Amino acid sequence: MSSRTPALLAGERDFRWRGAAVSRIEALSDAVFALALTLIVVALSPPRTFAELREAFVQVPVFAVCFAFLAWCWLIHFRFHRRYGLEDLATTWLNLALLFLILLYVYPLRFLASFLYQALVLGRGWSVTDAAGATQPLFETQEQIRWLMWVYGAGFSGIFLVLAALYARAWQLRAALELDSVERVITKSALHSHLLSAAVGLVSIAVSLVDARWTPYSGMVYAVLGPLHFAHGMATRRAVERYRGKTPDAPWGAASTGSNAKNE
């Protein structure tokens, strides 16, 4: 077996996965993520006519967006446990807080995604037609839209603050986990990445708090997530290349001695 095979099987080139068998925490987390996905699907009532079946497929992009976000959170959670294999009390409580927020966040996520899709893509405005054919407004006042953005932003920021706290816990235990220099770079980068995501949600809330007329702009704030994480990812990639082969406990940028020095 070549030296690259273990890294390839583990899924990451520069990080040794310390998590082995699936823990009780991960098993519970997988069940909660599955329940969250089920709640998104259940929001779509089973079609009884061809028109309702067609409408269900029209709503597929809404489900896809919600699925993508939950899959993103699940992947972050999965990678954290594979990287560190932590099962201490602090990590357990943080996991429970994350799962609570995920379940609490499902319906605001589904509602906001459906509202934006109907209003901006389908051009149906701010109303919805029920199974009986009656049309009902999604919002009665501008203040209700503002309140939705507060709830959404609070849930979004809360999830990523907990993820940041998990990585902060791993950073706190970096010596016990025997993280090498590159693994320390990746750990701090993940911590900063989740803090950036949480900050975007908080900025969105702050914008909507200024004035009710600014509520649409609070939603546009989330558009910076893509460029922000792209720039952060590029900086992380450069840092990984810079610190590969360094001594973990030495000041970053200091070369290691011996065999590590030959690899620089």
Tokens 């996965």 belong to 17
Distances (CA, A) of 109 to 25, 104, 114, 155: 24, 9, 9, 9
Task: Work out the pLDDT band at 226, boundaries 50, 70, 90.
Answer: very high
108 by DSSP, 3-state: which? helix
Nearest to 164 by CA among 199, 136, 130: 199
What does DSSP assign to residue 246? B
pLDDT tens by residue, 94-133:
999 999 999 999 988 888 888 888 777 766 656 555 545 5
Residue 112's pLDDT is 85
Q: Return the domain boundaries, the chain.
A: 20-138, 141-264
pTM (2 d.p.)? 0.82
Task: Work out the pLDDT band at 198, boundaries 50, 70, 90.
Answer: very high
